[in-house]
Chain A
Amino acid sequence: MAITAVPQAPRKPGRPMSPYATGPQRTSLGRKVRDNLTGHAFLIGAVLCFVVFSWYPMVRGIVMSFQRTRRGETTWVGWDNYSRLIADPSFWPAWKNTLYFTVLALVLGYAVPFFVAILLNEFRHAKGYLRVLVYLPVMLPPASALFLFKFYAYDPSEAGLFNAILKALHLPTSQWMQSPEMTMPAMVIASTWMNMGGAVLIYLASLQNIPGELYEAAELDGAGIWRRIRHVTIPQTRLILALLAMLQIVATMQLFIEPLILANGAGAEDSATSVAYLIYQHGFFQNDLNGAAALGVIMLVVLAGFSAVYVRLTAKQD
């Protein structure tokens, strides 16, 4: 029998009512108001932080992108900031690089941790050791790890670690950060090495919540390993897979410290300039906070486009 549908974990029938809002006797209005106030009292601290450092800056960023502040005077300038940005010769290279990085990082940094987690979940030995290893780079300050890559691994001479390994394997060596073609792959390798541990552990946690009976049932139905992954593992971890995909796209679109440290910002022939680096340049070096805000808004719109596509894709699967 083909396995087309693996039963999902039973969902709760409807939203359970709060124990504070139900009871055999009818709750009085005063009681309801009091319960709501208690609820909001617990919320207020976090909500205030969201208001001041997240929601308000969001609105302010959009407003700023249509203004220009010169010598303490703020005026409305319409789309001027946007047209000035698009005219910046680094604008299109920055987008091209950032999107390229996002795609490469999805291939490497998203699929790899999932399969590493599946693999680790099967092992009965050395589990702790392997997990510690995978997570170790996450604990390094990223600047430390990137200096390691910059000075020791990506050294374009044959004294560099990667080139020494390539040479020992009789493969052609690379100029790494000094070659425009290798800049992005080199940054993705460094970034994945530094960051994949977190994703692996989160996947491992969700893999362990998959009921073993599902695998047993699938196996009885004659499903091989790949089909068990496709029809049990992936559907059962779909929520966390979808969430991490979204988070990773958001994270990689902000590519910043890798070009800053590995390529001193722009890299060879603008091959490392990222959108985030351009925001930083405009905001904090060219004294153009409004232009930087406008670039932020453009980034937001692009991500909104991504998430629209993403919602379409995930909705189709249901």
Chain B
Amino acid sequence: MAQDSGTRTLISHSQLSRGRGKVIYWTLLVVVVAGFTLVFLGPLYWMVTGALKSGQEIAQTPPSLFPKDPQPQNYIDAWNNLALAKLLFNTFYYAIGAVLFQLVLDSAAAYSLSKLRPIFGNTILALMLGTLMIPAMVLIVPQYVTVLDLPILHINLLDSPFAIWLPMVANAFNIFLLKRFFDSIPEELMAAALMDGASSLRTLWSIILPLSRPILGVVSIFAVTAVWKDFLWPKLVMPSPETRTVSVGIYTFAGGTPMNVVIAASVIAAIPTVIIFLIFQRNIMSGLTTGGIKG
């Protein structure tokens, strides 16, 4: 019956499986499951069905639970009028690039800081972690000016995907997560690889990375969500209609579009990530919760 009876948590299993404890446990479980369904799934239901209602139906009191006269046309209008296919493609493209850049550059950096420990490594780590205290809003103006005219190279990155990919590599939180995970990989493994004459790159590729799949998954998910959720930065550096992300696109059209069509567009924009999440949720959850060697 118990799914993972191995770990002991705040309250012992035996206490929860007999007498009063059992009653409280099941009552609480039912209340929480019902409450969470209402709180987290309810609004999504409202959103999907609301976008099917007509303009009059949405304004009626009290609101109807089911659309009386479903209007799928709202969704078709949203798809066509907002060019959602293009917007979704752009967002995916930026998200995938961001994952690749972060995985390669951030795990290399975390590996170096955790295992190779070159001179000044700790200073560099401290400087990186220091940026956690600097809100993106503080940097938004000088970053924008920098992207308009990169120092030394004098390249303008406006409307280039690199304007999203490269700043995302400068992510101290991911480096911290990766380094903490690498730290928990026993030094003996490293020493053994060294004895066998493996190079640093080889050790990273054949020993560290395979052991670190859970945390690499977590970092990838963080990268995808970060691109998906980011709004102001892509709004600034991707100003053309052809390069916009989906959030910025919907926002741009929201002013002159009927409310239900905006919501329909919002639903469509949310579908791909929700599907990805439902497919990979086991990997995401286990990556976050079991955390391999130590987490």
Asked, given contacts A151-B262, A153-B43, A167-B62, whether A35 binds B116 with beta carbons under 8 Å apart, the answer is yes
In the assembled complex, A107 has its CB within 8 A of some CB on chain B: no
Asked, given contacts A43-B108, A46-B105, whether A144 binds B266 with beta carbons under 8 Å apart, the answer is yes
**A129 to B285 CA separation, bound complex (whole angstroms):** 11
**A interface residues, how many (CB within 8 angstroms):** 116
Asked, given contacts A39-B112, A57-B143, A208-B289, whether A142 binds B9 with beta carbons under 8 Å apart, the answer is no
Provide the residues of chain A in CB contact with B294, threshold 8 Å.
209
**B interface residues, how many (CB within 8 angstroms):** 114
Min distance, Cβ B172 to any Cβ of chain A, angstroms: 8
**How would residues 83 to 111 of chain B score, 1 for a CB under 8 Å from any chain A CB and 0 otherwise?**
00000000000000000000011101101
**A52 to B132 CA separation, bound complex (whole angstroms):** 16
**How would residues 243 to 258 of chain A score, 1 for a CB under 8 Å from any chain B CB and 0 otherwise?**
0001100110110110
**A152 to B276 CA separation, bound complex (whole angstroms):** 26
**A136 to B284 CA separation, bound complex (whole angstroms):** 12
* A200-253 at interface with B (beta carbon < 8 Å): 201-202, 204-210, 212-213, 215-216, 219, 225, 228-229, 232-233, 246-247, 250-251, 253
In the assembled complex, A280 has its CB within 8 A of some CB on chain B: yes
In the assembled complex, B52 has its CB within 8 A of some CB on chain A: no
| Interface pair B50/A152, CB less than 8 Å apart | yes
Asked, given contacts A132-B278, A144-B250, whether A256 binds B175 with beta carbons under 8 Å apart, the answer is no
Provide the residues of chain B in CB contact with A124, threshold 8 Å.
1-5, 13, 16
| Interface pair A52/B146, CB less than 8 Å apart | yes
**A193 to B294 CA separation, bound complex (whole angstroms):** 30
In the assembled complex, A77 has its CB within 8 A of some CB on chain B: no
| Interface pair B117/A141, CB less than 8 Å apart | no
- How many contacting A-B pairs (Cβ < 8 A)? 346
Provide the residues of chain A in CB contact with B23, threshold 8 Å.
none
Asked, given contacts A140-B273, A209-B294, whether A42 binds B200 with beta carbons under 8 Å apart, the answer is yes
Question: Which applies to chain A's interface (DSSP): helix, strand, loop or mixed?
Answer: helix
Asked, given contacts A157-B61, A201-B289, A283-B141, whether A43 binds B3 with beta carbons under 8 Å apart, the answer is no
**How would residues 160 to 194 of chain A score, 1 for a CB under 8 Å from any chain B CB and 0 otherwise?**
11001001100000000000000000000000010
Most buried by A among B50, B116, B295: B116
| Interface pair A38/B200, CB less than 8 Å apart | yes
Q: List 24 A-B contacts (CB under 8 A).
A: A16-B187, A19-B191, A21-B117, A35-B116, A50-B127, A53-B166, A125-B29, A132-B285, A134-B36, A141-B228, A141-B269, A143-B250, A144-B266, A151-B259, A152-B263, A153-B43, A204-B288, A208-B7, A215-B12, A216-B12, A283-B140, A289-B145, A296-B139, A296-B140
| Closest 10 pairs between A and B when the two form their complex, measured CB to CB | A39-B118, A212-B8, A144-B266, A46-B109, A42-B112, A57-B142, A39-B116, A49-B169, A143-B247, A45-B105
